[in-house]
Amino acid sequence: MKYTRNNLKKLEDLCSALTYKVRYEQGHFQSGYCIVSSKNIIVINKFFDIEGRMNCLMELLPELKADPDQLEDEYKDLYKKAISMRSVQELEI
């Protein structure tokens, strides 16, 4: 998956389909993001570039309290692709 605005939008839409709202705000996040579980909100550092934002979202996907099996087919494929890409990145480290 390339780091483009279009792919970032797809990841944001995927989070929306999982009932999470993505917001970009200023803050002191050690990891660059935080999750407000009670309100299903993901807050990402607004100073991150597209690559940083996409990496945060891909890192968060497995942690979200949602059922990916209830997603539409389009989002299921994207979910699996993002999870597998995250796994490959972890292997490279």
Residue 93, pLDDT > 60, answer no
Total domains in the fold of the chain: 1
Is residue 15 within 8 A of residue 57, CB to CB? The reply is yes
Residue 90, pLDDT > 60, answer no
Mean pLDDT across 29-57:
88
Give pLDDT tens digits for 51-74: 999 999 998 888 888 787 888 988
Q: What is the pLDDT of residue 91?
A: 43
Tokens of 11: 């990841």
Mean pLDDT across 70-84:
88
Range of the domain at 11: 5-92
Mean pLDDT across 10-20:
93
Is residue 79 within 8 A of residue 14, CB to CB? The reply is yes
